[in-house]
Amino acid sequence: MTAPVVALAMGLALLLGGCATPQPSGRNPADIHAAFSASPAHWVETDAVVTISNPVIATEVRNAILEAPLPPELAFSDVQVSARSGALALHIEGQIGAGEAPPTAVRFNGYIMLSYASSGLRWRPVIESVEGEGAIAPDDATAWVMRANNVLASQVVAGQRNHLGLRLQPPSAVALRAGLPGLGLEPRTQSFPVDGAYTVAASMVHTDAGQSVVALDLEFVDGLSYCASDFSIGRAAFATEIRDREPRNLVAHVPASVRPLHYFTEVSETRRPFTLVHYWFADGRAVDVTELPVEPSARWRTWSSLPAVAGTARHIEVFAADRDSGCILSADHIEVAPATGISASQFNLATSGFTTTLPGKSPAGVELSRVTVADTLNKSLRGARFALQFETPIAIEQAMSGALLVRDAANLQCAPPDCSVKTECPVDFSRCTRMQDSRECTTCLFRNPLNNRCISEQVDSACEARKTTLNERYSREWEACMAREESAQAACQERGQEAIEVCETRAAQFVQACTANQQVLQAHNGPVAVVSGEGRAQGTLAIAFSELQVSGDMAALKGMAGLAPNLEADGTLAFAPGDGLGSLADCIGQWSAPFQSNFDRPQATRRLAAPLGFADGTLSSTWPGLTLPLAMNRGPVESILSDQPAHFANCMPGLEADDTSVQATGSDDLLLRGILAVDVVDAAAHITLPAVSFTAGGAAYSAEALAAGWLYRYAMEPASRN
């Protein structure tokens, strides 16, 4: 890479079929190429370098342009691509003609713009001038340059014939392996998908005589990935105008002043409705998400627009994805021209440490920073939880025996229950409503004819008698209600007093029994009971891996592991009282009973840390000697004592029926507490770095990752031939 990359200021809008048309100028293609590369001011770090043979690019360009459908007035017969002055010069031989006039042999001159986006390496043709056998008028030359650019934009770029492949993919799956031989579960491997894709924050391109090199500053996008989908994109392109649901002024790159900028998408042969999402990125930063409904159609056309928040970004990229699956259906990008380009020394500085030279006869190569891979893995794994599920049901049968001790018998508290709480006995006299008959029992005998006032009245004795009788009844009912309320209150108070007396009696008995037990237990040196029995557990089991992260230098893989059970447990325990317990012995003997429990609570986890190796394109880490606890919600002893509260309280007043008061001891103490120690064998994680592949000249090429110092290197080799 000795040829300099010259940078010139560019104010020309290179709109393929747009409002401004390239003029024949004879400028060095390197000037234009450099002007649309990233400025060092926007560069963060080089994450990857893609190198491709110029003859491979030339073959792909030639085939795509010659196979593209052309209008009748335009014909292409030969395409030549050659490295010249640090860029790829483009020359197209053909004919032009309109109407009945004989066609004119011409040569279109321009250059190839090489770039990289999430969907892979691609090229864009730009025609700058046209030459003919005879003189072509300047206006005609301008029109034919515009026409040729229009055709190439619509048939090659929008038709997505300009893709070279070579797409860098982040790790898309984590394979976990483990076995539980003690539970009869043989080692098994399960693969888990990890979503994510790269977007480009910035890129730099340099071309020498034999190859072209693209340096990339990448950003990782979580939640989206290239995956199989029921939907496909037929056309996709950037345009400065949408008219009649069709893109106008298709653009390959634009100056910063060009707005608006739209991304047009045509979905092909859609059989069911779905939501297409356009994710807009500016210099690797997400700036907008637009949801676009799509209905069943042979060709559904839709679009979204670049938001103002993109600001001065120079690399605009759009992912078109299915909202429900997160599958990326298409991705495209456009460069916004900066004022200055880069020099060869700046390019060499940005790619320092990368080889940027194709090995042997390899047509292409990729180098990826180990730091970038580590950062990508950690972002994709952050917050993820993987459950390695064993499909075979398990059945565990386990005999157990041990002794039962009382913890801290000397500190046994024999405080009596509080009997001072008085019973509340409210009285509600508002329910006793005193009714009153207030009817009028007089009758008017004669009224003044002038004002209708009563002059003479007569009292109705019968009415007065009924009124008096009814009011006397109302009074008796009210007095009876008041008496009932007072009586209920008195009865309540009496019951409350009786409850206090009963409580005080039981409290005295409790203190007496507790004190006696305390004396016995303090004097007793052995177990209070010998426990024996058997337990069973049935169901399914998984191992949950979480918090997986790699070290920045890819030297180690760390994480957490724990069991995720779905088990039901049951069994029986027999309690044989210890010697010298007196009356406690008969009480303890009544504890023997069946028990039931389960294992559905969150289990304790263990930290993982092991070296991370690399071989055959796969990162691997193994965790030998791993043992994980499997705990019941309630252990056998606690289940029985908790399910028989009366029996336990009668024997052990002042104690609780859990491990804070009583403790199982002996070799099976964990089993009696419902805890199994499960040995894990062949515990390992495998993360495959996806192979890089592409097809060129009828041959398929692929490469697996190889470790090369602080890089992962992919050297393309033929995989098959069509």
pLDDT at 611: 95
Only one residue has tokens 């017969």, namely 77
- What percent of the chain stands above pLDDT 90? 35
Range with the poorest average pLDDT among 211-220, 299-308, 506-515, 568-577: 506-515
pLDDT higher than threshold 50 for residue 289: yes
User: What is the pLDDT confidence band of residue 30, given thresholds at 50, 70 and 90?
Assistant: very low
pLDDT higher than threshold 80 for residue 657: no
Only one residue has tokens 């693209």, namely 214
pLDDT tens by residue, 18-28: 333 333 333 33
pLDDT tens by residue, 450-508: 788 888 888 888 888 888 888 888 899 888 998 988 898 888 888 888 888 888 888 88
pLDDT higher than threshold 70 for residue 4: no
**What percentage of the chain's residues is helix, strand, coil (to nearest 5)?**
25, 45, 30
Q: What DSSP string describes 234-278?
A: EEEEEEEEEETTEEEEEBSEEETT----EEEEEEEEE-S-EEEEE
Highest mean pLDDT among 304-313, 494-503, 504-513, 624-633: 624-633
pLDDT tens by residue, 385-444: 999 999 899 998 989 999 888 776 666 667 677 887 778 888 888 888 888 888 888 888
pLDDT at 181: 92
Residue spans of beta strands (DSSP E) within 323-384: 328-337, 364-369
Nearest to 94 by CA among 139, 145, 54: 145
Mean pLDDT, rounded, of the chain: 83
User: What whole-number distance in Å separates Cα of residue 653 and Cα of residue 655?
Assistant: 6
Residues paired with residue 94 on neighbouring β-strands, in sequence order: 76, 106
User: What is the pLDDT confidence band of residue 339, given thresholds at 50, 70 and 90?
Assistant: very low
pLDDT at 606: 94
Nearest to 272 by CA among 328, 325, 231, 304: 231
Tokens of 689: 């770095």
pLDDT at 315: 85
User: What whole-number distance in Å separates Cα of residue 271 and Cα of residue 583?
Assistant: 81
Mean pLDDT of 626-636: 92
SS3 657: coil
Mean pLDDT of 42-61: 87
More confident residue, 591 or 559: 559
pLDDT higher than threshold 50 for residue 660: yes
For the chain, how long is the longest CA-to-CA vector?
A: 139
Length in residues, the chain? 722
User: What is the pLDDT confidence band of residue 29, given thresholds at 50, 70 and 90?
Assistant: very low
pLDDT at 337: 62
Work out the number of other CB atoms within 10 angstroms of the CB of residue 253: 25
Work out the number of other CB atoms within 10 angstroms of the CB of residue 415: 10
pLDDT tens by residue, 169-211: 898 889 999 999 999 999 999 999 888 899 988 888 888 888 9
pLDDT at 16: 36
pLDDT at 320: 94
CA distances for 722 relative to 665, 687, 697, 704, angstroms: 73, 31, 9, 21
Tokens of 225: 């990935």
pLDDT at 31: 39
Tokens of 508: 């005295």
* Strand 706-708 versus strand 675-688 pairing type: unpaired
More confident residue, 399 or 252: 399
Q: What is the dihedral of CA 261, 267, 273, 276, to 10 degrees?
A: -40
CA distances for 700 relative to 51, 164, 335, 362, angstroms: 17, 11, 29, 12
User: What whole-number distance in Å separates Cα of residue 172 and Cα of residue 371?
Assistant: 17
Nearest to 110 by CA among 174, 163, 43, 156: 156
pLDDT tens by residue, 343-355: 778 888 888 889 8
Q: What is the dihedral of CA 137, 138, 139, 142, to 10 degrees?
A: 120
User: What is the pLDDT confidence band of residue 521, given thresholds at 50, 70 and 90?
Assistant: confident
pLDDT higher than threshold 70 for residue 152: yes
Q: What DSSP string describes 59-80?
A: HHHHHHHHHS---TTEEEEEEE
pLDDT at 8: 24
pLDDT higher than threshold 70 for residue 600: yes
Sign of CA dihedral 411, 417, 421, 424: positive
Using an 8 Å Cβ cutoff, are 533 and 573 in contact?
A: yes
Using an 8 Å Cβ cutoff, are 144 and 672 in contact?
A: no
What count of Cα atoms within 13 Å lies in the side-chain half-sphere of residue 572? 3
pTM exceeds 0.85: no
pLDDT at 42: 57
Using an 8 Å Cβ cutoff, are 127 and 143 in contact?
A: no
Range with the poorest average pLDDT among 496-505, 525-534, 713-722: 713-722
pLDDT at 36: 34
Mean pLDDT of 64-69: 92
Return left, alpha or beta for 357; rule: phi > 0 is left, psi -120 to 50 is alpha, else beta.
beta
Range with the poorest average pLDDT among 92-96, 145-149, 646-650, 656-660: 656-660
Mean pLDDT of 705-716: 89
pLDDT at 686: 95
CA distances for 219 relative to 281, 326, 547, 577, angstroms: 10, 18, 22, 69
SS3 307: coil
DSSP conformational letter for 83: E
pLDDT tens by residue, 253-278: 666 666 788 999 999 999 999 999 99
Phi, psi of 295 (to 5 degrees): -105, 160
> In terms of C-beta distances under 8 Å and separation of at least 24 residues, what long-range contacts does 103-111 make, across chains too?
103/75, 104/132, 104/133, 104/134, 104/136, 105/132, 105/133, 106/130, 106/131, 106/132, 106/133, 106/136, 106/144, 107/131, 107/132, 108/145, 108/148, 110/29, 111/29, 111/32, 111/33, 111/87
Secondary element (H or E) of residue 279: strand 274-282
pLDDT at 89: 92
- Could you give the strand order of the β-sheet that contains 328-337, starting from the edge strand earlier in sequence? 253-255, 328-337, 315-322, 274-282, 285-294
pLDDT at 253: 67
pLDDT at 654: 62
pLDDT at 157: 82
User: What whole-number distance in Å separates Cα of residue 363 and Cα of residue 360?
Assistant: 9
pLDDT higher than threshold 70 for residue 252: no
- Could you give the strand order of the β-sheet that contains 197-207, starting from the edge strand earlier in sequence? 197-207, 211-221, 48-53, 364-369, 711-715, 706-708
pLDDT higher than threshold 70 for residue 341: no
* Strand 364-369 versus strand 48-53 pairing type: antiparallel
